[in-house]
Amino acid sequence: MSRVSRAVLIAAIAMPISTAAAAQAHSQSDPLAPSGQFSVYRTAAAQTPPMGWNPWNAFHADVDEAKVRAVAKAMVDSGLATRGYRFVNIDDGWALRRLADGRLRIRDNTFPSSATPGSDTGSFKPFTDYIHGLGLKAGIYTDIGRNTCMQRWDADTPNLPVGTVAERQVGSYGHAVQDMRTIFADWHFDYIKVDACGVADYTHADPPVTSGAYDTFAPLIVRGNIPASNPQAVEGLYAALGEAIQRWGGGNATLSICAWGEALSALWGGKRGNLYRTSPDIESNWKSMVSNIDSVIDGALYAGPGHWNDPDMLEIGHGDFDAAHLTEARSHFTMWTIMASPLLLGYDLRQSAPALFDIVANPEAIAINQDPAGNQGVPYRNGDAMVVVKTLSGTGARAVALFNRGTKSVEASVSWAQLGFAAGSVAKVRDVWAHSDRDATDRISVTLPAHGSVLLRLRGTPSEVAATFLTNMPGRVNVAVDGLTQATALPMGQFPARVGAAPDGRILKTNGIGAFANSRLEVRADRAFHRFLTAPIVLSGGQPVRFRVYADRKLVGEVTGSPTRAAPPIDVDIASAKIVELVAMTNAGTTRPPMIAWGNARLMR
């Protein structure tokens, strides 16, 4: 048996059968059969995007307990904690070595409170007690492989693990249950970030391996190369770790998957963790920030309460986003806010400039990010101008970000059609950064300076009062099956199901959701609706596609269409179902299934 399957098996034996396992068993039988579930990673954690602080962007490996404690204190004293910043996370650099019996020893020269008389491991309990005593929550870091990222990429920095090759294997590979038990049951952490260099960067050719300092790990992730990676094995490792976290950390423990969108992790992350990186590490420059936006901006159907796309931590306070670049800092925060991204600050809060505080602590911006509906904003592009619309909870409530990626000023506007507001109706408009109010009708237009942005909160009149369009509730749609096989995987950064667009990026002519055939979408209707309507469309391919609608696993509607013969519309009674499922199936296409759309798909109250 391979090491990977053994690790998965060990964890599986130790675990009670979970919802995730049940859903997996279901999908192995017939992935297009209705599940009757909303099969995301289901815990009580991260019902809104996590907010807090992580030392990596400020200190990298040069981190110690005094700095982290002082920042935690500053988070409380400055008022950031009362605005919602809650997690204080330790990143790479805390582990000293793995002992012969597999337990982990903490580096107590940098985390002195961990030194415990008579203990050869030490304990983080005094540290987490301190953090909890401040009313905050504590997070820690590991790697899904045997070794961490710092060991590979920061070989000259302080705080690397020490000892023999085996002792320096401080990653959780082969130790999922043991490590999670220590971290959650003994040390009382609330959150864990799980990196992936250990399964990516320790090949024969990697210098620290070549030099004999580390064991080889046949890579499960080949960066930027999906076909050469093993997405299933990576997903299996995270699944096993997630089970161990739930067992020892309970339902409130947060799991942050850090596989940088590699090995299709942006597509399966929602099944395996509470947040999942979609891109390489953010850097403190504009280009990097924009590229991380692009990694996540089309992924609204992959985020919702308990499962969030993660374009990485904030770089506010550094480089292009420091106190001398408030336009850029505000735009960075505007975009993370509207994208329902985790808000993890990364600068040294002991020396926070008031102007930066005013950005990251703006309660109205935070409220948009933390809106309980959990919808990620949906983008409209026009050259360098980008408009992003986030449906908020409450009738007619929307947030809009208007954002200039470029270095010349641009005009940007948002229309009532894009917002789903009735033509001619008046909306109340609040400008979150200018702290001003006004009324508007039919369209809002602004001029944005270079790198500028505007963030608005609107209250308007929906064009169809009784209808909720699926495009306005992406947080309640789960792409359970996307129709892609690994061989037909899209390039990294593209999402196989999208709001308002086909998977290839083509903009839909109707308000709808684009996907591949052989897909299954789960919609959390929560007994709030009685009818479902849609005009299904076949966008590509020559073969017929069958469209099926299920209400709590019962088939309630079925039509067939092709690119030349439009399918008749569907209008069905869903009898206050909890879960509505939309299945598109075809026999055509061994390489890539045809693209389809659920046009004007809406639930009626």
Find the shortest distance in angstroms from Cβ 280 to ligand GAL: 8
Listed residue (404, 403, 343) closest to 368, CA to CA: 343
Stretch binding ligand GAL (CB under 6 A), from 31-39, 75-83, 148-156, 353-361? 148-156
Residue of 91, 179, 190, 195 marked active site:
195
Phi/psi for 430 (5° steps) reads -110, 125
Find the shortest distance in angstroms from Cβ 59 to ligand GAL: 11
Find the shortest distance in angstroms from Cβ 54 to ligand GAL: 8
The kind and range of the H/E element at 67 are helix 65-77
For residues 196 to 235, the per-residue mask of contacts with ligand GAL, x marking binding by CB under 6 A and - elsewhere, is: -x--------------------------------------
Find the shortest distance in angstroms from Cβ 48 to ligand GAL: 21
In the bound state with ligand GAL, the residue whose beta carbon lies nearer, of 266 and 361, is: 266
293 touches 250 (CB < 8 A)? no
Q: What is the largest CA-CA distance in the chain?
A: 77
Among 91, 179, 190, 298, binds ligand GAL (CB under 6 A): 91
Write out the binding residues for ligand GAL, residues 534-563 only, by CB under 6 A: none
Stretch binding ligand GAL (CB under 6 A), from 118-126, 144-152, 247-255, 514-522? 144-152
In the bound state with ligand GAL, the residue whose beta carbon lies nearer, of 258 and 549, is: 258
Rounded to 10 deg, the angle between the 265-272 and 19-29 helix axes is 130
Write out the binding residues for ligand GAL, residues 116-135 only, by CB under 6 A: none
In the bound state with ligand GAL, the residue whose beta carbon lies nearer, of 27 and 157, is: 157
Stretch binding ligand GAL (CB under 6 A), from 28-36, 145-153, 236-244, 455-463? 145-153
In the bound state with ligand GAL, the residue whose beta carbon lies nearer, of 315 and 328, is: 315
**Cα gap 237→221, rounded to integer Å:** 12
Q: Does 92 bind ligand GAL (CB under 6 A)?
A: yes
Phi/psi for 580 (5° steps) reads -105, 135
Q: Does 289 bind ligand GAL (CB under 6 A)?
A: no
**Cα gap 231→521, rounded to integer Å:** 21
In the bound state with ligand GAL, the residue whose beta carbon lies nearer, of 61 and 489, is: 61
**Cα gap 117→121, rounded to integer Å:** 10
Single-letter code of the amino acid located at 426: V
Find the shortest distance in angstroms from Cβ 157 to ligand GAL: 9
In the bound state with ligand GAL, the residue whose beta carbon lies nearer, of 197 and 209, is: 197
> For ligand GAL, which residue has the nearest CB?
149
- The residues, any chain, with a CB within 8 Å of residue 480's CB and separated by 6 or more, are 27, 31, 35, 39, 520, 521, 522, 581
In the bound state with ligand GAL, the residue whose beta carbon lies nearer, of 221 and 479, is: 221
34 touches 550 (CB < 8 A)? yes
Stretch binding ligand GAL (CB under 6 A), from 29-37, 132-140, 143-151, 501-509? 143-151
For residues 44 to 63, the per-residue mask of contacts with ligand GAL, x marking binding by CB under 6 A and - elsewhere, is: ------------x-------
Listed residue (196, 164, 152, 151) closest to 97, CA to CA: 164
- The residues, any chain, with a CB within 8 Å of residue 375's CB and separated by 6 or more, are 300, 304, 340, 390, 391, 392, 472, 473, 474, 475
- The residues, any chain, with a CB within 8 Å of residue 93's CB and separated by 6 or more, are 61, 63, 107, 110, 150, 157, 159, 160
- The residues, any chain, with a CB within 8 Å of residue 112's CB and separated by 6 or more, are 65
Among 136, 138, 149, 502, binds ligand GAL (CB under 6 A): 149
Torsion of CA 233, 56, 71, 135, to 10 degrees: -10
Q: Is 526 annotated in the active site? A: no
Among 150, 244, 515, 580, binds ligand GAL (CB under 6 A): 150
What distance lies between CA 466 and its chain's CA centroid? 31
Q: Is 442 annotated in the active site? A: no
Please provide the DSSP assignment of 238-284 as one string.
HHHHHHHHHHHH-TT-EEEEESTTGGGHHHHHHHH-SEEE-SSPP-S
143 touches 169 (CB < 8 A)? no
Find the shortest distance in angstroms from Cβ 142 to ligand GAL: 10
146 touches 215 (CB < 8 A)? yes
In the bound state with ligand GAL, the residue whose beta carbon lies nearer, of 201 and 482, is: 201
Stretch binding ligand GAL (CB under 6 A), from 13-21, 69-77, 147-155, 292-300? 147-155
Find the shortest distance in angstroms from Cβ 168 to ligand GAL: 14
**Cα gap 559→582, rounded to integer Å:** 12
Listed residue (244, 121, 123) closest to 188, CA to CA: 123
In the bound state with ligand GAL, the residue whose beta carbon lies nearer, of 348 and 384, is: 348
Find the shortest distance in angstroms from Cβ 65 to ligand GAL: 18
Find the shortest distance in angstroms from Cβ 260 to ligand GAL: 6
**Cα gap 46→242, rounded to integer Å:** 14
Among 177, 258, 412, 480, binds ligand GAL (CB under 6 A): 258
Find the shortest distance in angstroms from Cβ 282 to ligand GAL: 8
Taking the CA of residue 243 as centre, how many other CA atoms within 13 Å lie in the half-sphere pointing to its CB? 24
Residue of 186, 281, 442, 552 marked active site:
281
In the bound state with ligand GAL, the residue whose beta carbon lies nearer, of 149 and 177, is: 149
In the bound state with ligand GAL, the residue whose beta carbon lies nearer, of 59 and 357, is: 59
How many of the chain's residues bind ligand GAL (CB under 6 A)? 10
Stretch binding ligand GAL (CB under 6 A), from 142-150, 163-171, 375-383, 537-545? 142-150
Listed residue (20, 134, 4) closest to 82, CA to CA: 134
Among 65, 108, 179, 195, binds ligand GAL (CB under 6 A): 195
What distance lies between CA 261 and its chain's CA centroid? 10
Residue 416 per-residue DSSP state: H
Find the shortest distance in angstroms from Cβ 58 to ligand GAL: 12
Per DSSP bridges, beta strands 554-561 and 498-499 are unpaired
Among 62, 167, 186, 281, binds ligand GAL (CB under 6 A): 281
For residues 480 to 519, the per-residue mask of contacts with ligand GAL, x marking binding by CB under 6 A and - elsewhere, is: ----------------------------------------
Residues acting as catalytic residues: 195, 281
Binding site for ligand GAL (CB under 6 A): 56, 91-92, 148-150, 195, 197, 258, 281
